Structure 1
């Protein structure tokens, strides 16, 4: 019997009742680990446990570029060979690319920046409206209490207020043209392949596929509604080989 490869990365992920990854930010890193065949193991954390756990690991918050205080969040990783800890998908992606450069993964491009920026505004708006109030349904009771208390404090109203069918439909209709435009940007290099830059994936593809997989885990209907727009489903399908390890 062959010996198992020892993990080089410990990935701290967000727990849900399905015991699989559903966080879009964590999926970006998980896709990258899978693509690069980096051996890793996962530790799932309940929402209320993220801050105390990461503090205990010695992670320290600094101020963001805007001067606001950052928050403890996943993904976080431990690089086992160097006993290095870090969090947030962007610095983790940079670390993984520099430490494991083969196969290469472009982390940014002019087209990728345009897609990500527009998607955060357009797709992010309807995903917040349609997924946030439904996300609570895949959390443990303890995490549900934390999620409701923190999210409703930000919203100023109950999560369920977002689920008014008429308002939700109006929200999707309002961004329809924008979603179609972002999808067409994704298809810029379709003659060369279904990834954003053509034949090979980039971090932008994992940004898109991770968001779509998150939507699928929370509510299949939201996922299906999104992939009806050209571009989204093609990139999701192209990234499926890197989604097999999800726990």
Structure 2
């Protein structure tokens, strides 16, 4: 058996009791690493350990490449050859694309920007509300305490209140047409291939697949509910070859 290549990237990921990646934003970077065959190893961090760990690595808060104010969060990476640390998925994606340009991953496109914006606005809220109260079930007791305290402070009520079957069903029904429309956008170039831009994946495909895989790890039912609309499952299945390394 050939020896594994020494890792060029150390990926800081979010820990869960299943010992696999489940963060949608970390999956975007993991898919990119896998697609480009960049050797890497993973360090999983519990929710309460993210900020102190990243501070200790010397990362400082500023403004992300996406224009939002940073908070200490994963994904973060160390580029081992240059001993460079960075966080924010957009910043990391730009670095990987410039440092490892082959095979290329288009980071932006007019269609991709439209899909990502509509996923955030239309699909995101319904999926998020269904996943958040279930996500706590795959966290360690320590991480559960942190997750509950921070999320319930933001929500103003208990996580379990999101699991009311009638309200949850109403939420999904309300976004059905929007999810179908976004799925049709994903199929714009279906004649050329299964990805958003046709034959080869772009960052938007990893954005979509990362969200779907996150849902699948947390709750199969939420995943199945999402992929019933045309477009979503095709992209997810096309990205399966780049999802084999998930720990």
1-side partners of 2:221 and 2:106: how far apart?
A: 31
1:67-216 alignment, distance < 5 Å: 69-216=69-216
CA shift for structure 1 position 43:
0.1
1-side partners of 2:235 and 2:2: how far apart?
A: 35
- Which residue matches 2:12? 12
Q: Deviations over 1:179-203 (max 9, x none)?
A: 0000000000000111000000000
The number of residue pairs the alignment matches comes to 247
2-side partners of 1:65 and 1:12: how far apart?
A: 18
Local SS of the residue matching 1:209:
helix
Counterparts in 2 of 1:98 and 1:58: CA distance versus 1, 3 Å: same
2-side partners of 1:40 and 1:68: how far apart?
A: 27
2-side partners of 1:141 and 1:172: how far apart?
A: 30
Local SS of the residue matching 1:16:
coil
- Which residue matches 2:223? 223
Counterparts in 2 of 1:65 and 1:76: CA distance versus 1, 3 Å: closer
Q: Could you tell me the TM-score, scaled by structure 1's length?
A: 0.98
Q: Deviations over 1:46-104 (max 9, x none)?
A: 00000000000000001469997521000000000000000010000000000000000
CA shift for structure 1 position 157:
0.5
Local SS of the residue matching 1:73:
coil
- Flag as ranges the 4+ runs of structure 1 deviating above 4 A: 63-69
- Which residue matches 1:240? 240
CA shift for structure 1 position 127:
1.2
- Which residue matches 2:51? 51
Which sections of structure 1, spanning at least 5 residues, go unmatched? Answer: none
CA shift for structure 1 position 6:
0.3
Local SS of the residue matching 1:81:
helix
Which sections of structure 2, spanning at least 5 residues, go unmatched? Answer: none
Q: Deviations over 1:114-150 (max 9, x none)?
A: 0000000111111111000100000000000000000
